[in-house]
Amino acid sequence: MRGPSGIEEFNRLLQHTNQESLLSRLEEMERRYRLRCPECSHEFWAEPKLIKTSVFDGGLKGFRCPKKNCDAVVPWEESK
């Protein structure tokens, strides 16, 4: 049977593990969906309203830079 200090330590370990996996998931999301414009270096999140598609086949070309007066497109790389 575990004493109060053992239970407390177990709960602390669980909380640390949950926070660590949350941070790992957030870092992975940022790596995949945080983009940098090749023209103006503006950083932004990939979002549906910025999608740029091909006029020929409708395929995803990338994401338009949201910065005013910048017409650059950040290419989407599946292997990001």
> Domains of the chain: which residue ranges?
4-75
Contact 34, 45 (CB under 8 A): yes
- Assessment of whether the complete model's pTM goes beyond 0.75: no
Confidence of residue 8 (pLDDT cuts 50, 70, 90): confident
* pLDDT bracket for residue 38 (50, 70, 90): very high
From its phi and psi, is residue 65 left (phi > 0), alpha (psi between -120 and 50) or beta?
A: beta
The answer on pLDDT for 79 being more than 50 is: no
**Tell me, what's the pLDDT at 24?**
81
